[in-house]
Amino acid sequence: MTALQERPAPAVEAVSPVRRTRARRMVSPAVTARRWTVRLASVAAAVLLWHLLTQRDVVLWLRFNRIPGPVEVFEAFQVQLGTSLYYQDLAQSLIRILSGFAIASVLGIGLGILLARSRWMADIFQPLLEIARPIPAIALVPVAILLFPSNEQGIVFITATAAFFPILVSTRHAVRALPTVWEDALLTMGASRRRVLGSVVLPGIVPGIFGGLSVGMGVAWICVISAEMISGDFGLGYRTWQAYTIVDYPNVLVGMLSIGAIGWLTSGCVELVGRRLTRWLASEQRSA
């Protein structure tokens, strides 16, 4: 019952992939500082250009004389940040997108797995989904208004529909692409179907579905804003459109910038979670 002695040679081989990825991250501070300087300068230059174009009322076919400049927008933004209405709109949009996205994730991943693993389910649902898929979610606004008792539910429905398809499709592909050897290994341990699902399928498809989740979050955001513009009574999209209708152009841009910031934040969160959950992938990318 003695253990075989550990041979040093494979240990070195085993360590190298980890080292390699860490080494790549270890960039010198000087390089980091330079890169950040370039990035900030790029943004500053864009703002300056915006300022000059609007300040001098430049009309070069594009009519910058009608666009508010960065100073005006900054002032309007400051005013907005002092109102409770702004935060209410922000929260409203966030709740809508997060609930829509959550519904889409659960349904998309669940149905995607079912479709990939059950021929019956595929035959029942596939035709319906193929018919519904080409319809842009935003075209469902009239149906949503008719179907749901409140605007709120309609907007969440549209958001969820938009995010649903990319998530569904990526899940289905990810399940189909799973190596059968993992499932076979679990089965020969006497595992049930449910155990295979939990121990192989769900963790195995994570890298594959995160692409779909990212895309889903993107379209969900587009749709929540559009839906709010059409039928909302709160939210960033509604407020932005309302500012336009009352000729309050600086606040149109405040709305746009807010939308951009929150959109960046939400997709950043998806990416962060994805990277955390797929950390093991880095160890798989061994020297080819």
Partner 1 sequence: MTDHTPSAVRADDLSLGYAGEPVVENIDLDVAPGEILVVLGHSGCGKSTLLRAIAGLIRPITGQVVADGRRVEGPDADRALVFQDDALLPWRSARRNVELPLAVQGVGRAERRRRADEWLSRVGLSRFADRLPGQLSGGMRQRVQLARALASEPGVICMDEPFGALDAQTRGSMQQLLVDAWHASGCTIVFVTHDVDEALVLGDRIVVLGRYGVVSEHRIEHPRDPERPPGPDFRAAVLEELSTTQSLAPVETGRAVA
User: What residue ranges bind partner 1 (CB under 8 A)?
Assistant: 1-7, 10-11, 13-15, 17-18, 179, 181-182, 184-191, 195, 199-200, 203-204, 206, 280-286
Q: Pick from 112, 94, 67: which is nearest to 206 by CA? A: 112
Q: Pick from 224, 256, 227: which is nearest to 240 by CA? A: 256
Nearest-approach distance from CB 19 to partner 1, in angstroms: 10
Q: Per the structure block, which two tokens stand in for 236? A: 């960033």
Whose Cβ is closer to partner 1: residue 1's or residue 131's?
1
Whose Cβ is closer to partner 1: residue 10's or residue 82's?
10
Nearest-approach distance from CB 278 to partner 1, in angstroms: 8
Nearest-approach distance from CB 178 to partner 1, in angstroms: 11
Whose Cβ is closer to partner 1: residue 14's or residue 47's?
14
Nearest-approach distance from CB 202 to partner 1, in angstroms: 10
Nearest-approach distance from CB 197 to partner 1, in angstroms: 13
Whose Cβ is closer to partner 1: residue 171's or residue 240's?
171
- Work out the burial of residue 107: count CB atoms within 10 Å of its CB; fewer than 13 is exposed, 13-18 middle, 19 or more buried: middle
CA distance linking residue 79 with residue 73, whole number of Å: 10
- Work out the burial of residue 168: count CB atoms within 10 Å of its CB; fewer than 13 is exposed, 13-18 middle, 19 or more buried: buried
Nearest-approach distance from CB 196 to partner 1, in angstroms: 10
Nearest-approach distance from CB 47 to partner 1, in angstroms: 44
Whose Cβ is closer to partner 1: residue 201's or residue 236's?
201
Whose Cβ is closer to partner 1: residue 111's or residue 201's?
201
- Contacts for 234-240 with beta carbons within 8 Å, 24 or more apart? 234/88, 234/89, 234/92, 235/89, 235/92, 235/93, 235/96, 235/155, 236/89, 236/90, 236/92, 236/93, 236/262, 237/93, 238/89, 239/85, 239/86, 239/89
CB atoms within 10 A of CB 267: 18
CA distance linking residue 116 with residue 138, whole number of Å: 28
Whose Cβ is closer to partner 1: residue 3's or residue 246's?
3
